[in-house]
Amino acid sequence: MWLVSPKHPLGTWHGPRLLGEGIALAKKAGVYKGRGKALNARQAADPVLRAVAGEAKAALAREFGVSRQTV
């Protein structure tokens, strides 16, 4: 965003300072939604139950296409 500065005839760039304000406005308008979830609630329950039952978390992560930390 360019704002006119009285000290300079061409104005001054104030983008980084106002970036947070722009993101907040976009979120409020429903435009900025971020990254979606890798698994929904139903999909997430299966690998967790299987890990508790003793299956390897690394194998479950590969099967479901997520990281081991997600399992």
Inter-residue contact 65 to 71 (CB < 8 Å): no
Residue 46 predicted with pLDDT over 80: yes
* Consecutive H or E run containing 8: strand 8-13
Task: Please indicate, yes or no, whether the overall pTM of this predicted structure exceeds 0.75.
Answer: no
Average pLDDT for 18-43:
83
Average pLDDT for 47-55:
92
Name the more confident of 57 and 9: 57
Please list, residue by residue across 32-68, b when 16 or more beta carbons sit within 10 angstroms of its beta carbon and e when fewer do: eeeeeeebeeeebeebeebbeeeeebeebbeebebee
* Consecutive H or E run containing 20: helix 15-29
Average pLDDT for 7-23:
65
Tokens 């929904």 appear where? 40
Name the more confident of 16 and 29: 29
